[in-house]
A and B are shown apart, each in its own frame.
Chain A
Amino acid sequence: MAEVTLIEAVTQALAYEMRQDPSVVVLGEDVGVNGGVFRATAGLHAKFGSERVLDTPLDETTIAGLSVGMAFQGMKPVAEAQFDGFIYPMMDHIVCHAARMRTRTRGRLSCPMVLRAPWGGGIRAPEHHSEAPEALFAHIPGLRVVIPSSPARAYGLLLASIRDPDPVIFFEPKRIYRQYKEEVPDDGEALPLDVCFVLRDGTDITLVTWGAHVKETLEAADRLAAQGISAEVIDVATVKPIDFDTIQESVKKTGRCVIVHEAARTGGIGAEIAANLAEKSLFDLLAPIERVTGYDVPIPLFRLEMKYLPSVDRILAAAQRTLAYR
């Protein structure tokens, strides 16, 4: 069994599903001969040819609109937005059409497409290459928003997303694209959507996160453990719809919750999780919920970028404040 990076797991899942299902088509800018600027589609063009792996003209509106057209005709387009920041011109088609095709037509038509994009900051990229827009999509009824945080979850969740009969926005945390390898059996086994993954059991505090910040959060949990504090770490994975049951159950046990995300704070997914806990778990809580997030500014260019992203220290400080309540 091969050890693969997160991005190789993406490629592996795409290849598996393209072999399996002739209606799966990959499209986007530079996804063909070049194999994608991050190499997520490397080798697919050679394997499947230019009718299954399409280099599109350079227009995101076009990519999204063509995908909607193919999807309602029964194909399964897996479109790539080259970077998170270039997804915004796609929103018209995603929001006005992909998200509501099924409901508008009372189930007569659907839109089984996946929109993949490298997501998030921390790689010293130029402007508009480091955005975390998951909350924008999560706000739209009719979309699933999935963010894997490891090679195995990238493989399993991408397979599930392609097989899902409705539109899925699939954000790949580019900061950990090549951070480490793990064994991922290329067996076509999907992972479930719409559920959280408990990465570490704990009893004193619940740390909730997703994407690249799973790394810092696990590190914070390690540091807490060294102080004798047992932290439960939850990877949300599907940020819309969220598996609140798992989070509530954890908070019932720990009574404390810190939510970590790199997107800007206001209206972020952290606010949604906090609101849910306020509604459903108020009497389980021993301390106010804390959020450790990006600030309400565009992610700065790279000289200040790491000051924007939640650090282990910031997570620890929030955890300590939370634990101080007796």
Chain B
Amino acid sequence: MHTVATFSIPYVGYLDEDGQLSADAPALAADNDLILDLYRRMSFLRFFDTKAVALQRTGKLGTYASCLGHEAAHVAIGMAMRYEDVFCPMYREYGVQFVRGVKPRDVLMYWGGDERGNDFSGPKHDLPWCVPIATQCLHAAGAALAFKLRKEPRVAVSVVGDGGTSKTDFYGAVNSAGAYRLPYVGVVVNNQWAISVPRSAQTGAETLAQKGIAGGLHCVQVDGNDAIAMLAVMREAIERARVGGGGTVVEAVTYRLSDHTTADDARRYRPEDEVKNAWAREPLKRLRTLLEKRGLWDAAREEAFKAEANAEVDTEVNAYLETRTQPVSAMFDFMFAELPHDLAAQRAEVLRLEGGTHG
């Protein structure tokens, strides 16, 4: 017997829980403007998320999927991508999307029960939020195949959860990305839980990154609470994909600090201690500590930023709250390029029932 293949999964992390940078940190860690930008975006995301949960609790939003704890991973993905790349999200990557130009009001509209949220600002070729788990991975691989066939230097990026890596679709994406050597980056945001099912019950694999090995992709595990490591790893994976070097599975190890959604109660299945420990590793604090050490941030600047961010969130919330419901006929209007006769009849029926002629 002899060994025909061996593999290893590198782990990348530069900024520890105390805001201490390791000696091998990449050059971007010295770019103070960049680090400030990362921090501000992550921080804004947290204000937005807190507000959205509050809106749900007061009946002004439907079920909402919080991104608490994922700020570093999400913002870094967005910042590593170019506008012309394509993003295929799941349902909580607002941080990526805000970087790409999607507005908070779009997010609120969607979770507020209005399809117009899916017609968001920002790149018109990005996919909307994807509720069925992991299907977006295959769509990203398909987009990457289109880029390759048309010889466009663009990259498709999907995000999936730890639970989502169990899905047939995830394996299919990884496999086809390897088979066609696609410009595809599949990010796994491993927040340790798929609703109530812990990562350990989801798979027997030691890492989720290694699921890419079977497909022939580059694979890396990264500290998903370390924005600097996330950005470095994402930039490298995306650039490699862009120049024809093949796809990557990036496993971002993080933690879900919130309930799964506002419809969930994580206390039923998740140990309190675990959550407490996770807060010690959360991504914002360590970046802020780094900035403070460099004299770039302090309590006064934090306060000023907070006021500014909250005002912006309020503007967005008001824009959402003031949006009138679509006319009832809107449910028909985007079904086909041209409304077929049967739907035209149904549309007319609805308008008659409403007693109106609007729409």
Contact = CB atoms under 8 A, between A and B. Distances in A.
Given A58-B202, A128-B131, A307 B328 contact: yes
A304 B195 contact: no
A303 interface: yes
A266 B196 CA distance: 38
Nearest to B117: A301
A86 B168 contact: no
B325 A295 contact: no
**Residue with the highest number of chain B CB atoms closer than 10 Å, among A33, A37, A58, A127:** A58
Interface in A115-140: 124-129
A297 B343 contact: yes
Given A303-B113, A303-B326, A126 B131 contact: yes
B330 interface: yes
A296 B331 CA distance: 10
Given A30-B197, A37-B264, A301-B113, A58 B331 contact: no
Nearest to A38: B263
B325 A304 contact: yes
Contact of A58 (B91, B111, B163): B163
B346 A30 contact: no
A112 interface: no
B166 A59 contact: yes
Interface in A43-69: 55, 57-62
Contacts, number: 111
B21 interface: no
Main secondary structure of the interface of A (DSSP, over half): loop
Nearest to B347: A295
Contacts of A86: 132-133
B196 A55 contact: yes
B112 A34 contact: no
Given A58-B167, A295-B331, A34 B115 contact: no
Given A295-B350, A314-B353, A32 B196 contact: yes
A8 interface: no
A159 B328 CA distance: 41
Interface string B184-210: 000000000011110001110000000
A300 B194 contact: no
A322 B330 CA distance: 29
Nearest to A264: B346
Given A29-B195, A300-B331, A302-B62, A34 B269 contact: yes
B131 A127 contact: yes
A265 B326 CA distance: 23
B111 to A, nearest CB: 7
Contacts of B195: 29-30, 34, 37
A243 interface: no
A33 B196 contact: yes
A102 B149 CA distance: 45
A307 B168 contact: no
A26 B224 CA distance: 35
A89 interface: yes
B346 A58 contact: no
B332 interface: yes
A126 B63 contact: yes
B163 A304 contact: no
Contacts of B331: 295, 297, 300, 304, 307-308
Contacts of A296: 335, 342-343, 346
Contacts of A29: 194-195, 197
B312 interface: no
B268 interface: yes
Contacts of B201: 55, 57
A58 B113 contact: no
Contacts of A128: 131-132
A29 B197 CA distance: 8
Contacts of B197: 29-30, 32, 55, 57-58
Interface in A222-247: none
A251 B286 CA distance: 73
A62 B194 CA distance: 16
**Residue with the highest number of chain B CB atoms closer than 10 Å, among A32, A37, A89, A301:** A301
A34 B196 contact: yes
Contact of A61 (B63, B168, B196, B203): B168
B104 interface: no
Interface string B317-343: 000000001101011100100000011
B114 interface: yes
A32 B198 CA distance: 12
B164 interface: yes
A125 B346 contact: no
22 contacts: A29-B194, A32-B196, A34-B195, A57-B166, A58-B164, A59-B166, A59-B168, A61-B168, A124-B63, A126-B111, A128-B131, A128-B132, A265-B346, A266-B342, A295-B331, A295-B343, A304-B326, A304-B331, A305-B113, A307-B350, A307-B354, A313-B353
Interface of B: 62-63, 91, 110-115, 129, 131-133, 163-164, 166-169, 194-197, 201-203, 263-264, 268-269, 325-326, 328, 330-332, 335, 342-343, 346, 350, 353-354
Given A33-B269, A127-B129, 17 more contacts: A30-B196, A34-B268, A35-B268, A57-B166, A58-B202, A89-B168, A126-B62, A126-B63, A265-B346, A295-B332, A300-B115, A303-B113, A304-B326, A304-B328, A304-B331, A307-B328, A307-B350
